[in-house]
């Protein structure tokens, strides 16, 4: 099939290479082919071949060889451009080297809740001060989509199970709990089963929230249809709705910590477990800043600390 030449094809076929440009500059700087060869660590014939190839590609003579080595007018003009190209390449190579060594970089991290994540982010920033880190808040559904669409580098989200197709590192365990006002008689209980909560009036989180997903899984496993009277978006709205007397709510155990108005009663059902995961595109793990961040979460997260306590 005949292909119409595209813009840029001639440049790729011109024969001008970075190696030839480096050789050209080295010959001018050294003042001879032999000294340029020594500086480049190649043979003198190789230097001649590279320079001749560059001249053929440029279709101009760059250097007079006799009676002494001297730049032509074209060579003098192109030398400036060759130095500029090499300088930009060295600058680029330096940036790549810094990124690989984690001297600098940029991360966008999305989270569904800051309670577990912020202390880990603080310790990561302290360990890697040259990596700029931006955070965004969302629920599990929106953050997983953000990871898939490369709008964020890492999502730290609550999930019932690891997400297929993405790199997932579990950094903390979660347990679902019934959340009630402190003065509710249920607040005196330590655990509750889903079938025991069938007569309660429930406030539910928005669809797409992992709290809602796990709650529905728990009730389905117990064959209970909860009496949902109210739906809210976000855990803070859930807390205020419970305090206002709109019903009992569903939260993860830690989410009511620090709020003296509320108490949580853990669900004893096996289906009430979930986890906090760091989620990224598999290919992103090769980006040094992303890989280092996830390694840090795994090494310093609540799950790793719990495992260390169990081993001691």
Q: 88 and 144: one domain?
A: no
Q: 178 and 235: one domain?
A: yes
Confidence band of 143 (pLDDT split at 50, 70, 90): very high
Q: 189 and 290: one domain?
A: yes
Q: 156 and 43: one domain?
A: no
Percent of the residues in the chain that have a pLDDT greater than 90, as a whole number: 54
- Best CA proximity match to 293, nearest among 167, 173, 209, 141: 167
- What is the structure's pLDDT at 256? 85
pTM (2 decimals)?
0.62
Asked if residue 5 has pLDDT above 50, the reply is: no
2 in a structural domain: no
Pairwise CA distance, residues 308 & 312, whole Å = 6
- What is the structure's pLDDT at 84? 87
- What is the structure's pLDDT at 126? 92
Q: 60 and 171: one domain?
A: no
Q: What is the average pLDDT value for the chain, to the nearest integer?
A: 86
Q: 179 and 122: one domain?
A: yes
- What is the structure's pLDDT at 209? 83
Asked if residue 13 has pLDDT above 90, the reply is: no
Which among 69, 99, 129 is the end of a domain? 99
177 in a structural domain: yes
Q: Which residue has the higher pLDDT, 198 or 102?
A: 198
Q: 35 and 64: one domain?
A: yes
Q: 55 and 148: one domain?
A: no
**Is residue 133 exposed (0-12), middle (13-18) or buried (19+ Cβ within 10 Å)?**
middle
Q: 249 and 129: one domain?
A: yes
Low-confidence winner among 25-34, 37-46, 58-67, 82-91 (lowest mean pLDDT): 82-91
Pairwise CA distance, residues 275 & 158, whole Å = 6
Q: 143 and 92: one domain?
A: no
Q: Which residue has the higher pLDDT, 209 or 60?
A: 60
The per-residue pLDDT for range 173-211, each reduced to its tens digit, is 999 999 999 999 999 999 999 998 878 999 999 887 888
- What is the structure's pLDDT at 304? 65
Taken as a whole, the chain contains a residue count of 312
CA 280 to chain centre: 6
Q: Which residue has the higher pLDDT, 98 or 286?
A: 286
The per-residue pLDDT for range 222-231, each reduced to its tens digit, is 999 999 988 9
Helices (H), 59-209: 73-100, 114-127, 140-148
Q: 192 and 77: one domain?
A: no
- What is the structure's pLDDT at 254? 82
Q: 15 and 111: one domain?
A: no
How many domains would you assign to the chain?
2
- What is the structure's pLDDT at 89? 86
4 in a structural domain: no
Angle, alpha carbons 195-199-203 (nearest 5°): 100
Q: Which residue has the higher pLDDT, 97 or 41?
A: 41
Percent of the residues in the chain that have a pLDDT greater than 70, as a whole number: 90
144 in a structural domain: yes
Asked if residue 22 has pLDDT above 70, the reply is: yes
Longest Cα–Cα distance of the chain, Å, equals 104
Asked if residue 311 has pLDDT above 80, the reply is: no
Which among 99, 121, 146 is the end of a domain? 99
- What is the structure's pLDDT at 301? 81
The per-residue pLDDT for range 238-258, each reduced to its tens digit, is 999 999 999 999 999 888 888
Asked if residue 31 has pLDDT above 60, the reply is: yes
304 in a structural domain: yes
Asked if residue 286 has pLDDT above 50, the reply is: yes
The per-residue pLDDT for range 79-99, each reduced to its tens digit, is 888 988 988 888 787 777 766
- Residue 135 sits in which domain range? 103-312
Residue 304: which CATH number?
3.40.190.290
Residue range 18-41: mean pLDDT, rounded? 92
Which among 99, 118, 144 is the end of a domain? 99
Asked if residue 12 has pLDDT above 50, the reply is: no
């Amino acid at each position: 099939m005949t292909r119409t030449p595209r813009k840029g094809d001639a440049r790729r076929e011109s024969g001008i290479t970075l190696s030839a440009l480096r050789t050209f500059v080295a010959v001018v700087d050294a003042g001879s082919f032999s000294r340029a060869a020594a500086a480049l660590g190649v043979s003198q014939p190789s230097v001649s071949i590279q320079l001749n190839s560059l001249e053929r590609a440029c279709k101009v003579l760059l250097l007079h060889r006799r009676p002494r080595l001297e730049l032509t007018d074209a060579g003098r003009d192109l030398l400036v451009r060759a130095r500029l190209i090499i300088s930009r390449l060295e600058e680029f190579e330096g940036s790549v080297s810094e990124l690989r060594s984690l001297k600098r970089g940029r991360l966008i991290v999305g989270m569904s809740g800051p309670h577990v994540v912020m202390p880990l982010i603080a310790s990561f920033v302290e360990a890697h001060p040259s990596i700029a880190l931006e955070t965004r808040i969302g629920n599990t559904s929106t953050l997983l989509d953000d990871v898939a669409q490369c709008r964020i580098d890492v999502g730290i989200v609550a999930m019932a199970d690891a997400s297929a197709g993405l790199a997932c590192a579990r950094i903390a365990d979660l347990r679902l709990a019934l959340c009630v006002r402190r003065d509710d008689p249920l607040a005196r209980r330590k655990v509750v089963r889903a079938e025991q909560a069938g007569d309660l009036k429930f406030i539910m989180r928005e669809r797409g929230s992992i709290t809602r997903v796990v709650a529905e899984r728990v009730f389905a496993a117990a064959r209970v249809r909860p009496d949902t009277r109210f739906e809210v978006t976000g855990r803070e709205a859930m807390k205020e709705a419970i305090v206002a007397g709109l019903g009992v709510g569903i939260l993860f155990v830690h989410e009511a910590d620090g709020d003296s108005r509320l108490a949580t009663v853990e669900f004893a059902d096996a289906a009430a477990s979930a986890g906090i995961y760091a989620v990224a595109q598999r290919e992103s793990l090769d980006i040094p800043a992303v890989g280092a961040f996830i390694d840090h979460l795994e090494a310093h997260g609540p799950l790793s600390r719990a495992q260390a306590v169990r081993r001691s």
